[in-house]
Chain A
């Protein structure tokens, strides 16, 4: 199954709160899981990425948690800021190919 299921579709968080976006997959051959952030009128931009041999990766306020046995991974945004308001896409790739399989996106709004 070459699908990545992403939830929620939209999320509203107060400034300073934690935003959590979840993704699940079936294909255990996936070996790279990037998260992309897209602002209105712009293309998606790489935010943070993880490989399945690591359970967590943190970059500043952004953390990926990876659960290989459950085939799930999630993005946590700590101390969410209004400037984080954007659409977030999780993705996965298969070894030997270059294409990404994207989730459906989560529109995050952080209230000031």
Chain B
């Protein structure tokens, strides 16, 4: 079974530019999450999709961040315009539909975003 995949693995952009990160969850996982880790700090929750619907977006920093999940499959996270403080590692995770919060969240390898 393929794991969670993320693209790109690294991205270096200038302040003010736009970047789009992509996540492909494990097949059959309705739940998809985005997290971010700023260097040395905690992995912080950004948002949670159930299929194509945003279930919880309480962790999204501001309106420069836009997450979508078309058709309930892959998801994209767009940052526009990027600021220096957006640098960090963005993780995507997915989990099985049943079992609620006790269900294991499977993480992708992350996208390391550097904003110069």
Contact with B along A35-73 (1 / 0, CB 8 A): 010000111111001010000000000000000000000
Chain B residues near A46 (CB, 8 Å)?
104-106
Q: How many of chain B's residues have a CB under 8 angstroms from any CB in A?
A: 28
Interface residue range, chain A: 20 to 34
Bound CA–CA A4/B42 (angstroms) = 9
| B82 interface residue (CB < 8 Å to A) | no
- Across the interface, do A97 and B109 meet the contact criterion of CB distance under 8 Å? no
The chain B residue with its CB closest to the CB of A6 is B42
Pick out which of these stretches binds chain A: B14-22, B61-69, B70-78, B94-102.
Answer: B94-102
| A22 interface residue (CB < 8 Å to B) | no
Instruction: Enumerate the 4 nearest inter-chain pairs by beta-carbon distance, A residue then B residue, closest first.
Output: A43-B107, A99-B45, A102-B43, A93-B101
Residues of B within 8 A of A (CB): 4, 31, 33, 35, 40-45, 48, 55-56, 58-59, 91, 93, 95, 100-102, 104-110
In the complex, 19 of the A-B residue pairs with CB atoms within 8 angstroms, ordered by the A residue number, are A9-B40, A41-B109, A42-B109, A43-B4, A43-B91, A43-B107, A43-B108, A43-B109, A44-B107, A45-B106, A46-B104, A89-B42, A89-B43, A91-B43, A93-B101, A96-B101, A99-B56, A101-B42, A101-B45
